[in-house]
Amino acid sequence: MTASPLIEFIAREHPAFVHIPLGLVAVLPLAMLASFHPRQGRHLVATSFFIAAIGWLASTMALFSGLIWGRQINLIGPSGFLPVVANEKQVLQRILQIHILAALAGFIVGGICVLLLWRIWRRDFSIGSVGSEHRHHAGRRFWERGVGTPTLLVGLIWVGCWGFSGKLGGIMVFGNEATNRAAAEADKAKRNDVEAELPIRALDYASLEPAEAGPARSKAHGDRWRRVWVTASGIDDYKAGKQLPPGAYAVMSTFSDEKGKPSTEPGPLYMKETKADGSTAFAFYWARVPEALRKEFGNQDNVYWRSPDPKLATCLGCHEKGGTPAK
Ligand code: HEC
């Protein structure tokens, strides 16, 4: 997705924009409290209403920019509104979920607060009713003056929701123990997974035992010319047509066809492995997808899929239970 520079700016500056509504809502309870003053009530109810209204309106921009930002950095799906938390290790996604829910709760409470303030301002202090100030306060108890205690409470809940949301936002931007630990763990997992970037063992296929003396045609794998290579630990089982033992793997190097002969144009590498726990894993690697075929590969010029990538479901369709399918 290529966004306009303006959208780009709105998204990126989310951590800055949020301070406008946050700042306004932080001073709102002060203005509301001050409205309990016996003589300044009228002005401070109006002030409270304006602070609340502007803060609430400004927050729509903050919500919008947060959504766009979340989508741009792929924490939220392209048409989603909340991040999907797939497992409990996704600390950032989980914090973001609560961050968004707290922000939305604040938005709803804020809307109610603005409405209440507007009604109080119109009812008790609207222009034209001269002397209303006096009527309003005469005979009222302290907590019934100004914006009134219930509205003050709603305002405080509003601050609470956004304060909490803001705290989580700060954690996501600057990190805390949990997010830092999750990032460190992800880093370590990647470092331990030597094939995260490239299928190193598959690329080294020529060091394995050739299972076939020369190339043969493979209808099952794009009608290419194939040659199968198997680890020494699995070659006997492979030749006997059995499933490879744990730790063993087979790589199929391929070439495209040229008038019934293997061409020099290298095709993808296919890999099938029996993991230590007996399960089967697949990999598909194509260093350079030819121009004409890129449409079939999501317009990528380079493809590297590994189990459990759903794009490898077709492999499982034929290689059920990890065995070599009958030809
Ligand atoms: C249409 C069925 C079919 C599909 C789909 C398929 N295969 Fe195969 N595969 C076979 C058959 C049949 C063989 C035996 C050799 C041959 O016929 O080329 C084989 C052989 C292999 C081999 C050589 C080791 C062995 O078990 O013989 C590997 C590695 C392999 N496939 C990987 C893959 C991967 C990775 C995918 C998915 C990207 C895949 N295959 C998709 C049918 C299929």
pLDDT of 51-61, one tens digit each? 999 999 999 99
The residue extents of the domains of the chain are 5-191, 201-322
Which one of 229, 318, 320, 321 would you pick to mutate in the ligand 1 pocket, going by the greatest count of ligand atoms within 8 A of its CB? 318
CA of 124 to the centre of ligand 1 (A): 80
For a pLDDT cut of 70, what percent of the chain falls above it? 92
pLDDT in tens, 68-104: 999 988 889 888 999 988 877 788 899 999 999 999 9
Please, are residues 254 and 267 in contact by the beta-carbon 8 Å criterion? yes
The pLDDT, as a whole number, for residue 55 is: 97
Whether pLDDT at 43 is above 60: yes
72 and 14 in contact (C-beta within 8 Å)? no
Residue 133, pLDDT > 60, answer no
Please choose from 221, 252, 316 the residue to mutate so as to test ligand 1's pocket, defined by most ligand atoms within 8 A of CB.
Answer: 221
Using a 6 Å CB cutoff, which residues line ligand 1? 218, 220-221, 226, 228, 250, 252, 270-272, 282, 284, 312, 314-315, 317-319, 324-325, 327
The burial class, CB within 10 Å (0-12 / 13-18 / 19+), for 103 is buried
Residue 115 C-beta-side C-alpha neighbours within 13 Å: 7
**pLDDT, position 90:** 83
Q: How high does pLDDT run on average in the chain?
A: 89
pLDDT-derived band at 136 (thresholds 50, 70, 90) equals low
| pLDDT higher than 80, residue 165 | yes
Closest ligand 1 atom to residue 272 Cα is 29
**Residue corresponding to tokens 């009222």:** 140
- Closest CA to ligand 1's atom 41: 315
Is residue 130 predicted with pLDDT exceeding 60? no
